[in-house]
């Protein structure tokens, strides 16, 4: 189902692999030449390492170092970005989110260019992650009126949460894909409770370039089904 007020705050499309055909990490900056028109802002990704040297009878010494692990390419406005590393290719879409067809087409277009340029070896994970922020009217009587999979509170206690965090990982029916569902909420603002529904669907098996579009389409269907089964008609009224 399509919603005119879809609560998607960030969508992530990702492909991971064992390695790519480069001699040093700086070679990844060559990708700038193919994304420059749409994603002209370049940044660097670092892994921050803190090494502590322990020697007998000597005060421990700390040494900080920054290891370059990849590059970021953003659009003007920083609402869309690619992250390229020697083991992953990621496309982040921040709100406003338009359509799957539009964003996946961009992701796949640049994946093909990246694939041609760097020849990744052995794909080992593909995934999408959709982070939804649903603004529930507050106060309300029961969470279950809006979200279907909220754990029950014992009747001897007040029927509300002071803090809430839920994460489950389950396999899909085809035995190739897994789903991680994460739920929490942010502090109430005015008469709104921002509820976070984070759906991460990934596949680790049977990954071949020729099947990527089909596999991502299946991932999309699972993601949509999980979302619809986590919300009620009252929630649909909020986002329709």
> Which tens digits make up the pLDDT trace of 137-153?
999 888 999 999 998 88
Stretch (H or E) spanning 205: none
Q: What is the pLDDT of residue 1?
A: 78
Q: Are residues 25 and 10 in the same domain?
A: no
Split into its structural domains, the chain has a count of: 2
What backbone phi and psi angles, to 5 degrees, belong to 33?
-65, -25
Which pLDDT tens digit goes with each residue over 121-133? 899 999 999 999 9
Angle subtended at Cα 41 by Cα 106 and Cα 105, rounded to the nearest 5 degrees: 0
Q: Are 81 and 104 in a shared domain? A: no
177-185 β-sheet, strand order:
41-55, 58-74, 80-85, 88-94, 8-19, 121-137, 192-203, 177-185, 165-171
Asked whether residue 198 is assigned to any structural domain, the reply reads yes
- 187 and 99 share a domain? yes
Q: Do 103 and 205 have their domain in common?
A: yes
Asked if residue 57 belongs to a domain, the reply is no
Tell me what pLDDT residue 55 has. Answer: 66
User: Is 144 in the same domain as 73?
Assistant: no
**Residue 58: inside a domain, yes or no?**
no
Q: Judge whether 211 and 174 are in contact, CB under 8 Å.
A: no
Give the pLDDT confidence score for residue 210 in this predicted structure. Answer: 73
Domain containing 203: what range? Answer: 1-14+95-117+126-240
Q: Walk along the chain (240 residues) in steps of 10 and give the mean pLDDT of each run.
A: 91 96 95 97 89 67 81 97 97 96 98 96 95 95 92 83 94 92 95 97 86 95 98 96
Instruction: For residues 72 and 166, state if they share a domain.
Output: no
Whole-model pTM? Answer: 0.91
In whole angstroms, how far apart are CA 216 and each of 61, 87, 94, 197, 222?
48, 19, 19, 20, 10
- Residue 56 maps to a domain: no
Task: Give me the pLDDT at residue 214, please.
Answer: 94
- On whether residue 148 sits in a domain, the answer given is yes
Q: What is the pLDDT of residue 51?
A: 63
């Amino acid at each position: 189902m399509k919603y005119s007020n879809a609560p998607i705050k960030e969508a992530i499309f990702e492909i991971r692999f064992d390695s790519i055909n480069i001699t040093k990490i700086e070679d990844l900056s060559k990708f700038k030449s193919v994304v420059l028109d749409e994603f002209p802002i370049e940044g660097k990704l670092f892994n921050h390492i803190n090494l502590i040297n322990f020697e007998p009878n000597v005060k421990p010494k700390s040494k900080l170092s920054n290891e370059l692990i990849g590059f970021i390419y953003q659009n003007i406005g920083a609402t869309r970005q690619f992250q390229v590393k020697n083991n992953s290719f990621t496309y982040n879409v921040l709100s406003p989110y338009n359509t799957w067809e539009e964003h996946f087409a961009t992701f796949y277009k640049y994946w093909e260019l990246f694939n041609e340029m760097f020849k990744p070896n052995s794909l080992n994970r593909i995934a999408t992650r959709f982070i939804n922020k649903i603004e529930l009217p507050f106060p309300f009587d029961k969470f279950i009126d809006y979200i279907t999979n909220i754990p029950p509170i014992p009747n001897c206690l007040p029927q509300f949460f002071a803090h809430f965090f839920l994460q489950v990982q389950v396999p899909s029916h085809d035995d190739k894909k897994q789903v991680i569902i994460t739920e929490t909420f942010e502090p109430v603002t005015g008469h709104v409770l921002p509820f976070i529904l984070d759906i991460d669907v990934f596949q680790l098996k049977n990954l071949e370039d020729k099947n990527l579009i089909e596999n991502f389409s299946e991932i999309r269907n699972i993601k949509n089904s999980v979302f619809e089964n986590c919300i009620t008609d009252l929630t649909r009224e909020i986002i329709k």
